[in-house]
């Protein structure tokens, strides 16, 4: 009888330190840092990261007889103001799958204050540490520190041991507050090959890679004999190359999220890791990242993905009942989509795989995005349509990098149906959205359409312009109030937002919210097409508007734009390092007729103006004309494409500047 047991005795050159010491030591707090009143490079900062250091090492675990990742981090933050107190709360994500999970160890945290010229430490308390579930694979350990006030320094250190070699720790060099020093190191044996890619716009001060020889000593224990068992040991030395990396960023400015971006996670400066493949001595290559073809095959063969679409034959009876008597393909599609919308509510979760069979989804009348849209795809399949589930990444999840074939980039699924030589993208999670319009959260680059014959990329763009049209017919009273009628038509995503608000409360409450802080009195209201989601929703009001006109003696100043005036440019930064993403084109039209009473004369009118961005990407027209005692105002603001790249930003910013200035101009009236 022979039993072989391989034990790893040592990996040479193992340890947290190599070459040079870490730039920070836990507990080594300087009085100078505690005395600091503000950060000289950003005096407005509520807090600053003094140092953030981490290192990831892949090494062999002798007890488990397998490799694991050991990650260690030390982070130190200085608090300046009350707004900075939130940075005394730390979160540590831990991945788990099946029965295995990452292990947290060596957790220490403390608050430091300067009292009577001395550093006073307050250690983390047990009741300041608690766990929360983030999603199906991530739990979060939260740490809240005691005795934190303006002027404090907070610090945390911890280790994470992980068996999930594909989950190598990424590293963010940028945060919502400035960072004095951010440093990350990695040690990776040659057996593991990770694709590494940088994102963001921070230039690294250090970007080093070296290679160092190492060795592993294996001890083989061999047992022989039946009655008189003898054990002999032999030793084998395996030499390998270890790749060592060091990345350093200094004096990193805070990431300030400008309006109209998908997710800050797309643009903060960080380094990302994806395990491409492993290759051990005398073993074939084992691929993890693979290719998009591999990913398509994986999803096409998954019972919880494509299997939901092609399987569940009992849905054929349901599909036939829903489409009974309908011969037109598009009308069948509409009937099936409406059936799912009306019978299943979205639970708000974004998922790629169905968590339950379609029968349970229908019985419980709720489900995730995958439960709902794969159910819809299956019904379409049973009705004879060619249908493909489409993997996407929602806007808050970040955009997809097509050069990096990793399925973790997806977090959502919709479906695409082909019929009558055309195709349509469908999502049944939003009951108040017309068929053929995707939820705005899905308008993010391209989707990955899965099929048995191969994948293809599908652009996720809105074909519908969101539009608000205001028509007002008003009369100026002798007491300088405005009375009359107002109608607002909304279509596209503006209609969806309006309907969601309208159906979430009663009509009186909706009107109250609409008026807000304005000095308006609504005397009559009518909401038209609230349930006809394929039609614009119309709001009709009879109203009296007071305090809209400024008086100075017998001179009156009137801004004729009662609604949707752009009073402030949303683009504050002179230069922007990331694109402007409006998600979809939109238009704001304001048309108003104001009848002046006797005794009021027009003294000054704003000049007409037309502004156009290159290639008609944006357009604004404005005019105020007089015909007898009637003023006619027309304002039309258009953004005609979804995304403006960085080179287009200066023109877009100036466009908004000029619109703000023009819309601020007054009509000047005089009273006899």
**Residue 107 to residue 128: CA distance in whole angstroms:** 12
Over the chain, what is the mean pLDDT? 91
- 286: exposed, middle or buried (C-beta count within 10 Å: 0-12, 13-18, 19+)? exposed
Contacts of 519 (CB under 8 A, 6+ apart): 545, 546, 547, 548
The per-residue DSSP string of 151-169 comes to: T-EEEEEEEEEES-TT-PP
List the single range of 42-56, 187-201, 242-256 with lowest mean pLDDT: 187-201
Which pLDDT value is given to residue 144? 95
**Residue 66 to residue 60: CA distance in whole angstroms:** 6
Average pLDDT of 180-201? 93
* pLDDT over 90 (residue 136): no
* pLDDT over 70 (residue 130): yes
- 651: exposed, middle or buried (C-beta count within 10 Å: 0-12, 13-18, 19+)? middle
Which pLDDT value is given to residue 10? 34
* pLDDT over 90 (residue 231): no
* Res. 391 pLDDT band, cuts 50 70 90: very high
* pLDDT over 50 (residue 393): yes
Average pLDDT of 633-649? 96
Domain 23-210+239-287 top-level CATH class? mainly beta
**Residue 62 to residue 70: CA distance in whole angstroms:** 14
* Res. 593 pLDDT band, cuts 50 70 90: very high
Domain 466-671 top-level CATH class? mainly beta
Which pLDDT value is given to residue 264? 85
* Res. 464 pLDDT band, cuts 50 70 90: confident
* pLDDT over 90 (residue 207): yes
CATH number, domain 292-459: 3.10.620.30
Average pLDDT of 437-450? 95
Query: Directed axis angle between helix 369-382 and helix 315-322, to 10°?
Result: 70
Which pLDDT value is given to residue 404? 85
Which pLDDT value is given to residue 233? 66
145-164 per-residue burial string, b: 16 or more CB within 10 A, e: under 16 = bebbeebbbbbbbbebebbb
**Residue 583 to residue 441: CA distance in whole angstroms:** 8
Torsion (CA) 35, 41, 46, 51 in degrees, nearest 10: -70
Which pLDDT value is given to residue 220? 61
Average pLDDT of 326-338? 95
Which pLDDT value is given to residue 224? 67
pLDDT tens digits, one per residue of 258-283: 899 988 888 899 999 988 889 888 88
Q: So where are the chain's domains?
A: 23-210+239-287, 292-459, 466-671
Contact 214, 240 (CB under 8 A): yes
Stretch (H or E) spanning 34: helix 31-35
Sheet holding 422-426, edge to edge: 422-426, 412-419, 386-392, 446-449, 456-459
The rounded percent of the chain whose pLDDT value lies above 70 is 94
pLDDT tens digits, one per residue of 166-177: 899 999 999 999
**Residue 391 to residue 370: CA distance in whole angstroms:** 10
């Amino acid at each position: 009888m022979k039993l072989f047991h391989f034990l790893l005795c040592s990996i040479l050159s193992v340890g947290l330190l190599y070459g040079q010491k870490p730039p920070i030591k836990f507990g080594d707090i300087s009085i100078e840092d505690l005395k600091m009143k503000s950060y000289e490079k950003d005096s407005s900062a509520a807090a600053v990261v003094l140092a953030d250091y981490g290192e990831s090492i892949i090494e062999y675990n002798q007890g488990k007889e397998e490799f694991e990742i050991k990650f260690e981090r030390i982070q130190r933050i200085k608090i300046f103001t009350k707004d900075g107190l939130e940075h005394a709360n730390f979160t540590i994500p831990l991945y788990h799958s099946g029965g295995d999970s990452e292990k947290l160890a060596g957790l220490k945290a403390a608050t430091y204050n300067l009292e009577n010229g001395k550093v006073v430490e307050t250690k983390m308390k047990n009741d300041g540490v608690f766990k929360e579930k983030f999603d199906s694979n991530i739990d979060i350990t939260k740490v809240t520190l005691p005795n934190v006030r303006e002027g404090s320094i907070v610090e945390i250190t911890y280790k994470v041991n992980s068996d999930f070699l594909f989950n190598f720790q990424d590293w963010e060099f940028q945060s919502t507050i400035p960072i004095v020093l951010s440093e990350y190191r990695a040690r990776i044996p040659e057996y593991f090959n990770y694709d590494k890619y940088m994102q963001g716009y921070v230039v690294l001060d250090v970007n080093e890679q070296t290679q160092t020889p190492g060795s592993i000593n294996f001890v083989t224990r061999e047992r022989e004999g039946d009655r008189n068992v003898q054990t002999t040991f032999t030793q084998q030395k395996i030499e390998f190359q270890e790749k060592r990396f060091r990345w350093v960023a200094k004096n990193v400015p805070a990431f300030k999220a400008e309006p109209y971006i998908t997710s800050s996670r797309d643009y903060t400066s960080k380094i990302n890791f994806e395990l491409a493949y492993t290759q051990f001595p005398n073993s074939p290559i084992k691929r993890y990242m693979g290719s998009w073809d591999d990913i398509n095959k994986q999803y096409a063969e998954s019972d919880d993905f494509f299997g939901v679409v092609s399987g569940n034959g009992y849905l054929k009876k349901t599909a036939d009942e829903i489409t009974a008597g309908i011969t037109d393909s598009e009308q069948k599609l509409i009937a099936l989509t409406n059936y799912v919308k009306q019978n299943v509510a979205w639970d708000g979760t974004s998922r790629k795989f169905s968590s339950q069979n379609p029968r349970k989804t229908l019985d419980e009348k709720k489900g995730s995005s995958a439960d709902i849209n794969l159910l819809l795809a299956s019904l379409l399949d049973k009705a004879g349509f060619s249908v493909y589930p489409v993997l996407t990444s929602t806007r808050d999840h970040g955009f997809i990098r097509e050069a990096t074939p990793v399925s973790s980039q997806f977090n959502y699924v919709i479906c695409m149906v082909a019929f009558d030589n055309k195709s349509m993208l469908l999502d049944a999670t939003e009951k108040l959205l017309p068929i053929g319009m995707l939820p705005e959260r899905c308008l993010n680059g391209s989707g990955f359409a899965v099929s048995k014959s191969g994948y293809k990329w599908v652009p996720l763009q809105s074909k519908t312009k969101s539009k608000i049209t205001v028509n007002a017919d008003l009369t100026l009273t002798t007491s300088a109030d405005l009375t009359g009628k107002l109608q607002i038509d909304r279509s596209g995503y503006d209609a969806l937002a309006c309907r969601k608000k309208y159906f979430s409360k009663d009509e009186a409450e909706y009107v109250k919210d609409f008026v807000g802080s304005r000095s308006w009195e609504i005397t009559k209201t009518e909401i038209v097409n609230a349930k006809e989601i394929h039609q614009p929703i119309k709001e009709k009001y009879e109203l009296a508007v007071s305090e809209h006109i400024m008086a100075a003696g017998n001179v009156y100043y009137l801004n004729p734009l009662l609604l949707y005036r752009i009073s402030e440019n949303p683009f504050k930064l002179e230069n922007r390092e990331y694109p402007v993403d409006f998600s979809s084109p939109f238009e704001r039209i304001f048309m108003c007729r104001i009848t002046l009473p006797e005794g009021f004369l027009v003294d000054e009118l704003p000049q007409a103006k037309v502004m156009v961005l290159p290639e008609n990407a944006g357009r604004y027209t404005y005019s105020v004309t007089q015909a007898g005692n009637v003023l006619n105002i027309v304002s039309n603001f258009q953004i005609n494409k979804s995304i403006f790249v960085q080179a287009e930003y200066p023109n877009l910013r100036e466009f908004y500047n000029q619109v703000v200035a023009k819309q601020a101009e007054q009509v000047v009236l005089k009273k006899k």
